[in-house]
Amino acid sequence: MIQIAPQMRLLVAVEPADFRRGIDGLVRMCREALGVDPFSGAVFVFRNRRATAIKLLTYDGQGFWLCQKRLSTGRFRYWPGRAGAVKHELLAHELAVLLAGGDPERTEAAPQWRRVAVSAAT
């Protein structure tokens, strides 16, 4: 079972993937298109061209996990990334929102990190 923890690196492939690819094809895509080692323990997120399905690929130290979610109706309306970008990094709570069909950029979650002001001691 894949458990997404807050400290995990989550990388989204901005361009759609050919979902006829299995584990080996997606591993090759991680190396060649994304420029990331698929054995790094990162979770890679792919979407098909029609935006009806998402695949997650990760290596757990023994082998690869490949999970797929296909919507029964509708499409994933949001997909992260900017024009010209190859990959986009997400936080764990953003992936949960994305998998539920939502837009992670519209959630009003607290920032992952913020500077803490040190007050002067008297």
Report the sign of the C-alpha dihedral through residues 19, 20, 23, 25, in that order: negative
Question: Which residues of the chain carry a pLDDT beneath 50?
Answer: none
What is the amino acid identity at position 99?
Answer: L
Please state the domain extents for the chain. Answer: 10-106
In tens, the pLDDT along 50-64 reads: 999 999 999 999 999
What local confidence, expressed as pLDDT, does residue 72 receive? 93
| Residue of 61, 4, 58 lying closest to 27 (CA atoms) | 58
| Residue of 87, 65, 91, 68 lying closest to 5 (CA atoms) | 91
pTM score of the predicted model: 0.84
| Residue of 56, 47, 44 lying closest to 11 (CA atoms) | 44
